[in-house]
Structure 1
């Protein structure tokens, strides 16, 4: 073990707590405020310290900016619009792994509904306004205007535990972003369009899409960025055993 890891003292614990506590899913970014490559490399260099079972490090990262980002946005938005026009075409686009359960039960379905309707309510989208819902959902596929889009893949040969490892890697990126004044939005919404995304980013046939992420500078004045989801209290999910 690196002796500096053992002896390092976190001089400002409050900053660590603030970085975690201020992370949220940003849904409005400054399109015209770029993120330097050096900053992105710093985030990834920190995130690579994430734990993984037997140090397998299953993550593979693709960074999209400029023309590559815009071209992917155009391709996926076109497919998303095609599905909206003809729902039967959804069968052409399948997620490779089940992110959500096949059957929803309480309390998870209740939290999901609260999340969706609270967000739509904030945006002034009423139940049944399908065009507005479609447009808002498509904001995912525009990276919410963030100048940087990240795509994360891993080899299909890896097991389910690697997805747990991946979650820790993603969280480290999002928390590290706060130290640069940046915000993020992790997005499983991209997963259904893997057959478009993987060839676009040059992924090999052995890779599967884990998720995408938007990265950039948040627009503080946008109402959507005032939406912060509630969390269960500690006593709601913890049992103390003596």
Structure 2
């Protein structure tokens, strides 16, 4: 095991390294898999270690995916992961904030609880992780942050409000970090049922995670209809 890890540490110097939050299922896992298939080394940020290991075990053939513990609502967890990445990898090239919750259907929660928990994960969590990882992102030659925004349509107030805050954060962070060379963009999940939607969303995220120096920042991206048809 240690021999494999040493080899991975050396390889990481030649390949881009990405942290994907909420990566044990859904869009997070689909985005992580798409980036891994593009040759990016992936840190699967998961609150559940067991689910993280299960996701890593099902990785595409030849992909480099390692589960790491991350609770985006816990500052200690975020700081511990930042220290692990700093110590073992020295930098971070890509951050994908894909951790999210949708709690509007939870009848066991009061409205205030639904909103507070939604903002804690969907908006504040993304802001906290980005800020914590910023010193590592600025060590990259082409640092990119991709935020997973709201699925178009729908009428879930807590979810949509928290994602609107994340969209505003995306634009603000893009302006704030421009001088540091960090690109910050948002993507909207593709409204297609089942695996087709996940694949299309993952491909959109992959494009914005691998932007070159002339790529945009502060944008909100959606998949083009022609691309979906293809």
User: Fold conserved (TM > 0.5)?
Assistant: no
Class of the TM-score when normalised by the shorter of the 2 chains: under 0.3
Of structures 1 and 2, the one scoring higher in RCO (CA 8 A, sep 6+) is 1
Q: TM-score, normalised by structure 2?
A: 0.26
Q: TM-score, normalised by structure 1?
A: 0.25
